[in-house]
Amino acid sequence: LPASARPHVVLLCSPCMGHLIPFAELARRLVADHGLAATLLFAAATDTPSEQYASLAASIPDGVSLVALPAPPADALPPTAPVRERAVHAAMSSVRHVRELSQSLASRAPLAALVVDMVSVPARDVATELGVPCYMFFTSPWMLLSLFLHLPELDAGLVGEYRDATEPIRLPGCVPIHAHELPGALLVDRSSESYAGFLSMAKDAARVDGILVNTSRDLEPGVGDGTDGVTKLPAVHAVGPLVWTRPAGVNRDHSRVIPWLDQQPRGSVVFLSFGSGGTLTSRQTTELALALEMTRCRFVWVVKRPDEDTASGAFFGTRQGEEDLGFLQRGFVERTSGVGLVLPSWAPQTAILAHASVGCFVTHCGWNSSLESILHGVPMVAWPLYAEQKMNAAMLEVQAGVAVRVRADAGGFFSKEEIASVIRRVMDEEEGASMRKRVSELRDKAGQALTRDGSSALALAQVTDRWRSSSAGEK
């Protein structure tokens, strides 16, 4: 079909880079493999695009149109508003733009579906008005989706607070987890606003026509458990792992990292990065630097300016002075020159993970980072910071056996001895070797799931067939 006559999918993503990146890959596949046209709308939180957004936008393939929707007024929320609240606000404010754009698209081409992320479900009304299905693309693992889908039930049956639970929490299709590994909003008072916000987002997840989740049966064998039509929960389709592997922008630091890695022995480099938004405190940043020196390992460290108040301080990428490394302990960069490379703010992560010199990834366990590490066969040191990252870390260590968690002391601090010892375990020839073997097996299986007859590719084809036939009026 010519592009203009293809059924059109509108995808709406809230202002989270960790969502936009897999959304871009989903949109690319809808166009390249499923005969659809795709417009990807980004509900921006700020008017100035971040470096992250700009580098993704520069690599969007021709067939996908990426549109940043106008951000809500800067003073609409107090500067102290938490990330989740900001993201929800931007998604809510985007609905009228989504309506206008979708109506205009519908006048030119058949609309096949609206695909939202876990934050932008309020736009579902637009799909209802236009008579098309609304699907969710869930960019975190089944483990979090299972929590979302079963939270109303858990909530109704709970006496007291989650953190008081003495028994492990057993979510359908997931490894048991301890209450302290739940997302932060569940660990505060159940009468708090942040709990109410999380619960309402969880309830929203069940109100769509179907859910695509960025995982595969090999990674999470229990995906979809408890959603078999008996429970009135929407059908869940494992379509992952979808990761964005195009080069993420080029600046001075990006262009020096790959040649530097080329000079290092195979598997000898520790790569450290805490996602698009993760930040450490000053004290923790210094401790990590000391730990790196203790290991004597080669390293590439994407370091962000410390934040004393929150672990997601760089989430919207709008901080000033990000390139200035003056906060690092005096002499660190000089002492480690030749052995390590410190990159401020943002690096081409998938290109680094793909490099044969990288032997270990110290990660905050954001789901995209975890998938990218697996797809490149790199074992992980798990250092979760916020959102559902502690759940991901538990799953990666206990179920998948591809990561070792760093243990914090009673005050939540990671000592240099602990950090160095966990890095050494993953880099170690023997213990590391079994982890590397498991991660390579998972990499191969994940790759197979995405080939033409693989489980994830077939799952997406089944959904898109349904979208296409309903957009052609064969309901």
389 Cβ contact list (under 8 Å, min separation 6)? 364, 365, 366
Please give the Cα distance from 149 to 14 (Å, whole number): 20
Instruction: Quote the CA–CA distance of 173 and 226 in Å, as a whole number.
Output: 8
CB of residue 274 to ligand UDP, shortest distance in Å: 8
In the complex, least distance from residue 344 CB atom to ligand UDP, rounded to whole angstroms: 10
Shortest distance (Å) from residue 213 CB to ligand UDP: 14
Nearer to ligand UDP, 149 or 302 (CB): 302
Out of 17, 95, 113, 396, point to the residue binding ligand UDP (CB under 6 A): 17
Say whether residue 214 binds ligand UDP (CB under 6 A).
no
Number of residues binding to ligand UDP, judged by CB under 6 A: 19
- The three-point CA angle 346-351-357 to 5° equals 110
- Token readout for 150 is 């079963």
Is 369 near ligand UDP (CB under 6 A)?
A: yes
- Of 234 and 317, the one with the shorter C-beta distance to ligand UDP is 317
Report the DSSP beta bridge partners of residue 342.
Answer: 301
Of 439, 351, 429, 433, which is closest to residue 399 (Cα–Cα)? 439
Alpha-carbon span 110 to 104, nearest angstrom: 11
Interacting span for ligand UDP (CB under 6 A) from 11-19, 73-81, 170-178, 398-406: 11-19
x/- contact string, 311-350, with ligand UDP (CB under 6 A)?
A: -----------------------------------xx-xx
CB of 50 to ligand UDP, least distance (A): 11
Contacting residues for 154 by C-beta, under 8 A, at least 6 apart? 147, 169
Rounded least distance, CB 429 to ligand UDP, Å: 28
Minimum distance of ligand UDP from residue 178's CB (angstroms): 22
50 binds ligand UDP, rule: CB under 6 A = no
The single residue among 295, 368, 373, 464 that binds ligand UDP, judged by CB under 6 A, is 368
Which residues pair with residue 340 across a beta bridge?
299, 337
Give me the 273-302 binding string for ligand UDP, x by CB under 6 A, dash otherwise. Answer: x-xxx------------------------x
Backbone dihedral angles phi then psi of residue 311, each to the nearest 5 degrees: -90, 0
- Nearer residue to ligand UDP within complex by CB, 371 or 460: 371
Residue with the two structure tokens 């695509």: 212
> Residue 290, class by beta-carbon neighbours within 10 Å (0-12 exposed, 13-18 middle, 19+ buried)?
middle
**Of positions 64, 69, 132, 248, contacts ligand UDP by CB under 6 A:** 248
* Residues with active-site annotation: 19, 117
Name every residue whose Cβ is closer than 8 Å to that of residue 230 and which is 6 or more positions away in sequence: none
Helix (H) or strand (E) holding 372: helix 367-375
Residues near ligand UDP, by CB under 6 A = 16-18, 21, 248, 273, 275-277, 302, 346-347, 349-350, 366-369, 372
